[in-house]
Structure 1
Amino acid sequence: MPASTEAPTRVGAASPVPVAVDSRLSPGGPGYRRMSFALFLAGVATFALLYSTQALLPLISGEFGVAASEASWTVAAATGGLALFVLPMSALSERFGRRTVMTASLAVAVTVGILVPFAPSLTTLVVLRAVQGAALAGLPASATAYLAEEVRPKALVTAIGLFVAGNSVGGMSGRVITGWVAQEWGWRVAVGVIGAIAVACAVAFRLLLPAPQHFVAGSLRPRVLLGTVRTHLSDPLLRRLYAIGALFMTVFGGVYTVIGYRLTEAPFGLPQGIVGSIFLVYLVGTVSASTAGRLVGRLGRRGALYAAGGTTATGLLLSLSGSLWLVLLGLVLITGGFFAGHAVASSAVSKTATHGRAQASALYQSAYYIGSSAGSTVGALAFHAGGWAGTVGVGLLAVLGVVSITVLGTRAARAQQRLATA
């Protein structure tokens, strides 16, 4: 609880009213910059590790002599591990503390990251990546809760924005760095470099993050947790939002898992470093996500989802072209549409859940990363069976799912309006 002080009392004066002083962190105050930079570094480490093999899949396929559908498991296992463990990790953070869980998660993830370059087989590599993803689940499960408890409400959006920026920078830079390093020294050295960067980020995070002052430990009560989860899953709107997040990520995961194969093969034949640099397109997503609020203000939530789905579908169709510039434009539209749709859906979850918001957000993240794993696997299988057109077909089906679910939501909202006015 915030600390309180009392104003000084003059002799003979009436007793003053106690003035509550909010001791939580705020911009310009002590500890705020340290906290912001610490969580930014945690975001960088998390997403650099999580997607560290995605830009390297053609090289991994070549070394182990496997198809794209098999190599893609190095991505799907990590995101799948995160999806499965994000809800349990959110419960652990309620009992043992946000900073404790985040520190332990990063410690395990970077330790595994040091071992990954030495994996003797694809099976070992996939297992290590699954463990790494499960460990990283403690970051998204705890970081936003830490911020909500330790930062003043007016500064909360900015603080969360810095953490998300770290996610974006980590995801983008991890892919770009691995692409260029792998071109010269191979995928094992590239993954090792990311592991070393993550170790530095993890150490700095632990040294910089202020000790929590407002955390109150809860108890691990599975019955209460399961009751909250059941309540969220019984809400039709939340179910639709979870499905939309998963479907958007299915498109994104499939496209970016396979795009390396598409661009290193004929007719493009791009070197690995250039292919890794393609992930700079993520900057477009950072912009589209930050402007999603204005899009919702103009079109409404469902209108914004239609616009995001249409933009993504247009990008998928453009990417079928044999022109490199049209393929790149297609990636820009896919990325912009995905991040806008994800921002709209995830923010709607927080607004819709009236209680148990941490669990509601954890369920969304779980669905989101299940979509990533499914997209990586199914997109790669489709590429193996039908080339890039197969991957695009999977993406278009996922976008059709988004549009269909949004149409159902529109009809449900209109039905409720008619009942309310009847």
Structure 2
Amino acid sequence: MKVHAVLAINSGMSEFKKAGFALFLLGFASFSLIYCVQPLLPEFTSSFHIAPSASALALSMTTGFLAFSIMLSSAFSQVLGRRGLMFCSMFLAGLLNIICAISPNWQMLIFSRSIEGFVLGGVPAVAMAWIAEEINPKDLSRTMGLYIAGTAFGGMMGRVGMGLLTEIFSWRVSMAVLGLICLFCALGFIKLLPDSKNFTQRKAMSLSFHLNAWLEHLKNIQLVRIYSIGFLMTSVFVTLFNYVTFRFSSAPYHLSQTQISLIFLSYSFGIVSSSIAGNLADRIGRKPILYFGFILMLVGVCFTLSKSLFYIVLGIAIVTTGFFISHSIASSNVGELARENKGHAASLYLLFYYLGSSIVGSMSGLIWQKQGWDGIVILNVCLIILALIVIAFTQRERVLD
């Protein structure tokens, strides 16, 4: 067993900036690839003659396979190493996005998106584990906030870029271009990210070791509550963005593909808020910041009940800000609450996180078709209230301090 000397990277070291930029590229590439199809759902319904709930599978299948792949990747990274696994995942996902662009039918596109999600499982949990292992605890929230900012930027540019390129060319060209960009991001990542110094590499896979590690984390009620918070926050966020595209493309708005994609510029609020939230959490504690994030989401969701385009977009921006605040705080708590096997703890958090995206994001399509936007809002309000209740219970045990 190979053991590295313990030497945490801190903000005063040159490796800190390189690691931060590498993680930003990682977050950008992975999340732009995952969510690039979200503004294209109406395009898929017309191109492949399918229902809105069926078109949502382009995202739900990706996040569903991603959720379970995350579990495997945390185990494989113990053998293959964190850095190499993240690079291979990014590079292969970029290639698969290009394959999606040339898919001749809906079945082929869904299959390619499913495999892309499975491949991308090598990024999120491993990235969180790398940060928890290699970064000095005093800079943990700050670094995690930078990674989350990269995911926000990727989510924004992937969606906005898809809309703009689709308006000019086609959705096929836009997906191919994004795939090429992410290939270059993978090369930049492997060049910049420092080698692991605090990672204990295993020579062989041990199923019992991994099962026991996951089981121990699931026995930790503090972690389970954080996992449930992750499930609820992404359920709200993905459901909102999945079906607002259909709302804006229909009466009375009839927005173009470019106009709809510009709504995703609200992710810029997530880029800023996730970094600020990390810094504030280091000063005043995580509990109040997490509460604040979910309350913002609740206010934003209620704003979208308005018929005014201005207030709907404002509500989306508020929800986005609250989501990224909550995500950066919750994800940084996982690394701190898990004393051992941090990669396994991170993989469970992201399993719950992406299951929310996959299950609720897909099933809410039925609510959209039967109840319209009011049904989507009611669902999201219930999910946010449930999350606030979970936070209230964790507060009594001072989980988030």
- What's the CA shift string for 1:343-375, capped at 9, x where partnerless? 332233333223222211211111111111123
> Which residue, out of 342, 348, 359, partners 2:327?
342
> Which residue, out of 111, 115, 132, partners 2:116?
132
The answer for the alignment partner of 1:256 in structure 2 is 241
Following superposition, the deviation at residue 132 of structure 1 comes to 0.5
- For structure 1, the 5+ residue unaligned runs are 4-21, 415-422
Is 1:233 the equivalent of 2:218? Answer: yes
How far apart in 1 are the matches of 2:331 and 2:137? Answer: 19
Q: Would the alpha carbon gap of residues 334 and 34 (structure 1) be closer, same or farther in structure 2, given more than 3 Å must change?
A: closer
- SS of the aligned residue for 2:151 comes to helix
Give the 5 Å matches for 1:137-216: 137-149=121-133, 158-212=142-196, 215-216=199-200
The answer for the alignment partner of 1:290 in structure 2 is 275
* 1:267–1:322 Cα contact (<8 Å) kept: no
- What's the CA shift string for 1:129-171, capped at 9, x where partnerless? 1110111111123234344555566665554444333222111
How far apart in 2 are the matches of 1:208 and 1:346? Answer: 23
Q: Would the alpha carbon gap of residues 285 and 36 (structure 1) be closer, same or farther in structure 2, given more than 3 Å must change?
A: closer
Aligned residues: 395
Counterpart residue identity of residue 364, structure 1 = Y
The answer for the alignment partner of 2:262 in structure 1 is 277
Q: Identity of counterpart residues, as a percentage?
A: 34
Q: Would the alpha carbon gap of residues 344 and 209 (structure 1) be closer, same or farther in structure 2, given more than 3 Å must change?
A: closer
Counterpart residue identity of residue 334, structure 1 = V
- What's the CA shift string for 1:38-81, capped at 9, x where partnerless? 33322221111111101111111111111211100101111111
- SS of the aligned residue for 1:387 comes to helix
Counterpart residue identity of residue 169, structure 2 = W
> Which residue, out of 52, 68, 77, partners 2:61?
77
Counterpart residue identity of residue 331, structure 1 = I
* 1:252–1:375 Cα contact (<8 Å) kept: no
Following superposition, the deviation at residue 310 of structure 1 comes to 2.8
* 1:263–1:270 Cα contact (<8 Å) kept: yes
Counterpart residue identity of residue 245, structure 2 = G
Q: Would the alpha carbon gap of residues 307 and 106 (structure 1) be closer, same or farther in structure 2, given more than 3 Å must change?
A: closer
Tell me the TM-score normalized by structure 2. Answer: 0.89
The answer for the alignment partner of 2:98 in structure 1 is 114
The answer for the alignment partner of 2:28 in structure 1 is 44
- What's the CA shift string for 1:92-145, capped at 9, x where partnerless? 111111122112212321221110011222222112111101111111232343
* 1:257–1:379 Cα contact (<8 Å) kept: no
How far apart in 2 are the matches of 1:96 and 1:363? Answer: 20
Q: Would the alpha carbon gap of residues 316 and 206 (structure 1) be closer, same or farther in structure 2, given more than 3 Å must change?
A: same
The answer for the alignment partner of 2:342 in structure 1 is 357
- For structure 2, the 5+ residue unaligned runs are none
* 1:97–1:217 Cα contact (<8 Å) kept: yes
- What's the CA shift string for 1:265-319, capped at 9, x where partnerless? 1111211112111111112223333343576689865554443333222211210
Deviates more, 1:219-228 or 1:155-164: 155-164
The answer for the alignment partner of 1:380 in structure 2 is 365
The answer for the alignment partner of 2:375 in structure 1 is 390
State the superposition RMSD in angstroms.
2.7
Deviates more, 1:258-267 or 1:244-253: 258-267
- SS of the aligned residue for 1:138 comes to coil
How far apart in 2 are the matches of 1:110 and 1:232? Answer: 32
